[in-house]
Each structure stands twice: as structure tokens, then as C-alpha cells.
Amino acid sequence: MNEIAGLCSELSDALVDLDEEKVLSLTRGALNQGSNPLTVIDTGLGDGMKRIGERYAAGDFTLPHMVIGADIMQRAVAILEPALQKDDYKREFKAKVIIGTAEGDIHDIGKKIVATLLRANGYEVIDLGRDVPNTQFIEKVRAEHPDFLGMSALMTTTVANQQKVIELLQNQGLRDRVRVIVGGAAVMPGMAAQIGADGYGESAAEGVAVMNRILLSRSCLTREVEKVPVEARKDCALSGSKG
């Protein structure tokens, strides 16, 4: 195992242990050694965050563990950001996601975790925050041309705004450009189908898995499966086409 691989493995373990001091120290050390910041993010921090998500899905971690892990990763990435601004480092993303909490809903924790897990899984994420006006979702879809639009709602009263955004996308001729994934405590699978969403994530990890499956289905047809995580590729045979 070479030096950078060993460092990234140690960084991943430290993040899973939720050891903020060690994560930040290792991140600074990697930067001072001239390590590629993209490798540090993808192989170190990203791997650690994915493992945290897996432990949460398995019931070994609770929501507070996820929140702490996401916060630590964001602090570490902030250390790397100056190096990422250099032209030498251009990260390739497998898809672009616009994400936000529905208008009228001020809850933000779950959505932030989804955004962090998406970044850890190689997605470019534009986080619009919470209480996002319906029209802002539309404006960003038109301007950014994302592959996915993710909307969260933790209040039953704001699920209606998820549906309004989908209707606005349809009315303005934008619906076919983007896959809409919804989630949040107030959203149920049947409800997601009723409002016209393309997918539903019961948890942060499942939201990422849904996008991976949709992306994989498209990749199976375009022979771009290498852009999708290896662990998800087995679904390709289930999609009805192997390209």
C-alpha cells in the first residue's frame, strides 16, 4: 500500500470513528504533502462517509452519528478547497443534483446529510438550503441543467409544494430534463408516486441508492457503467437491458 493509499485509509477510519481532530489533522497533513485533494476527498473522506451511511442503514449508527460525520467531512473539505481551486484539479462528477427543502419547511438536517452522501458518492451537488421557493427550484433547473432534482419535506403541509414544483416543471416544458426524487419524514412511497416524482428515498442512504439505480439504468443503455459504483452494477442485469 503506497503512502497516499495508507493515509486515505487512515482518514476513512478516523471519519467513521467520528474523530474530528484526527480527520482534520490528517487532511492538513495530506495537503502539506502535496497529495491530490481529489484523491483525499474521494478515497479518504468520501469512503468514510459512505461507510457511515452503510452503518446508519444497518442500524448501527443513529441520526446524530450521521450529522456529526457530515459536519466533520464538510470541515475537512473546507481545508482542501483552496487547492481544489487550482486548474490542475478538475473533479469529474457522474451526475449533477440540485437539492433543497420544500417551501415553507425550515428543516435542514436530513437534507444536508443527503447532500453530503451524494458528494461522497461522486455527485456534483447544488444545495439550495431550506424553505426554498417553488420558483427558485424551477429557475435553478433551467439554469443548471441538473440530472436530478431532490426535494425534502418533513412537514405534511409542505409535501404539496413538492407537487407544485413538479407541476411547474411540467407547465414550463422542463419536466423531461430532470428526474425528481423526493424524501423526508412527511413523504411516503405512495404519496411520492401520486405527486409525480420519479423516485423516493426513505432515508439519506436510500435517496443516494435511488439516484444510483436511475443513473445505472441510463448507463446500461449508453455503455457508461464505469461512472456508476461497482456495488450498484449488479442492478444492470435487472434493468432489462445490458446495453
User: To the nearest whole percent, how much of the chain has pLDDT over 70?
Assistant: 87
- Given this model, what pLDDT does residue 15 score? 96
Rg of the chain over Cα atoms, rounded to whole angstroms, equals: 18
What single-letter amino acid sits at 165? V
Reading the block at residue 214, the C-alpha cell is 436511475
How is residue 53 written as a grid cell?
A: 451511511
Question: What is the domain partition of the chain in residue ranges?
Answer: 3-84, 95-239
Is the CATH number 3.40.640.10 carried by domain 3-84? no
C-alpha grid cell, residue 29: 497533513
- Rounded CA separation 220/216 (Å): 6
39 or 237, which is more confident: 39
Please report which confidence band the pLDDT of residue 227 belongs to, taking 50, 70 and 90 as the band edges.
very low
Q: What angle do CA 66, 70, 74 make, to 5 degrees?
A: 175
pLDDT in tens, 7-52: 899 999 999 999 999 999 999 999 888 888 888 988 899 899 989 9
Provide mean pLDDT across the span 87-98.
80
123-127 and 199-201 strand pairing:
unpaired
The Cα–Cα gap between 27 and 33 comes to 10
Q: Where are the beta strands (DSSP E) in 28-178?
A: 95-101, 123-127, 148-152
**What kind and span of H or E run contains 219?**
helix 204-222
What fold, for 95-239?
Answer: Rossmann fold (3.40.50)
Per-residue pLDDT of 165-224, as tens digits, reads: 999 999 999 999 999 999 888 888 788 888 999 998 888 888 888 999 998 886 554 444
- Reading phi first (left if > 0) and then psi (alpha if -120 to 50, else beta), residue 130 is in beta
DSSP E strands, 81-122? 95-101
Q: pTM for this structure?
A: 0.74
What count of Cα atoms within 13 Å lies in the side-chain half-sphere of residue 161? 26
Q: Which three cell numbers stand for residue 112?
A: 444536508
Which three cell numbers mark 58? Answer: 444497518
User: Is pLDDT at 151 greater than 90 in this prediction?
Assistant: yes
